[in-house]
Structure 1
């Protein structure tokens, strides 16, 4: 287990992802890298986590939106690859429910992009506790591959790409509850970003309070 993953497991149950996003999401801007923090930066991350614990405890859980709503936010095509098979479900267990939708965009010569949207409105911190990049900055390079945490539209994200394998990932968390993941093989890094931008992310962000009890 890496250090940042262990850190994520320690704080995820108490940490809301609201430190990443806001009410005025703008997904037309540039992707900004967060960089790798020094020791003071890591201490600040821990302090921010503690300061937001109370806010997390007071936030009411939200029933997930129906997967068909998420499906309608997907692009019809990305980088010349038309949408293929789409699978979705709204499932419940142990009193909690999640919604998910996954779409495949096949291309020529083995190229493929996969897009997934998950709504963890009822249990966002528990469901995302394996995503270490939500609470610690990453900036790594090894051979032909890089891994970086980023911000996009005011939301926390993670991207990685291997130029030799021509495969990678671009994921973000939207409105503290939606995990959007784009992965691809035999595609460019720009194709992955274009696929993410092709999703109606503003429409997704507008669902931030959907299913949440009114105060």
Structure 2
């Protein structure tokens, strides 16, 4: 019964992220394709089912205290000073998500980066949030690109818009932590460098 509850809650939580359909017209959907496909959603749900079975056998790993995540936020992100650092832990259906966020900017806020560290523990929901980790994406348009790749030893997802120089890169660490750098007015190289300012090996070692 616990497994069923986890799968249902995870599916409901992840569906908007996976399918990105939220009330758009057909024309809008055609103009703005979803970042994660329905095929990826199916794969994510299958992975969640597998993880739920493992949880039944091995128990659930609790999310770490968000303060441990906050400690890994660098004081600067590739030269941009940290303006704010926040953290929180939220719970539902018997498990929790810990999140730490750092906001970085230059003096006139023309360059901004947000670093986010998320831990959902060893729960199926994590794979729902990182459905891209089970897909191969490689898309390029006149405006930018979207693709999955690797960053060091970790599977990564990146998306960039050349028009307003905005984008994001995310990595899945140890099948439970998601580290993301989002920015505006910056290059993808700067976003990658900012994410590298987070000690991902220390993140992987958290328990």
- The change in CA–CA distance for 1:53 and 1:70 in structure 2 (over 3 A counts) is closer
Structure 2 residues without counterparts, runs of 5 or longer: 1-18, 20-33
Post-superposition Cα deviations, 1:110-166, rounded to whole Å, max 9, x if no partner, equal 21000111101142x224425431111001101130111011222111011122211
Q: CA RMSD in A?
A: 2.5
Q: Which has the higher contact order (CA 8 A, sep 6+)?
A: 1
CA distance, structure 2, for counterparts of residue 3 and residue 170 of structure 1:
13
Return the structure number with greater helix share.
2
CA distance, structure 2, for counterparts of residue 3 and residue 143 of structure 1:
16
CA distance, structure 2, for counterparts of residue 110 and residue 57 of structure 1:
49
Structure 1 position 89, deviation (Å): 0.8
- The change in CA–CA distance for 1:127 and 1:205 in structure 2 (over 3 A counts) is closer
- The change in CA–CA distance for 1:130 and 1:74 in structure 2 (over 3 A counts) is closer
- Normalised TM-score (structure 1): 0.72
Residues 46-195 of structure 1: pairs in structure 2 closer than 5 A: 58-107=57-106, 108-123=108-123, 125-195=124-194
Post-superposition Cα deviations, 1:27-72, rounded to whole Å, max 9, x if no partner, equal xxxxxxxxxxxxxxxxxxxxxx98x897676453211110010001
CA distance, structure 2, for counterparts of residue 79 and residue 192 of structure 1:
8
CA distance, structure 2, for counterparts of residue 3 and residue 140 of structure 1:
10
2:130 and 2:172 in contact (8 A); partners too:
no
Residue 9 (structure 1) aligned with residue 8 (structure 2): no
Number of equivalenced pairs: 174
2:126 and 2:175 in contact (8 A); partners too:
no
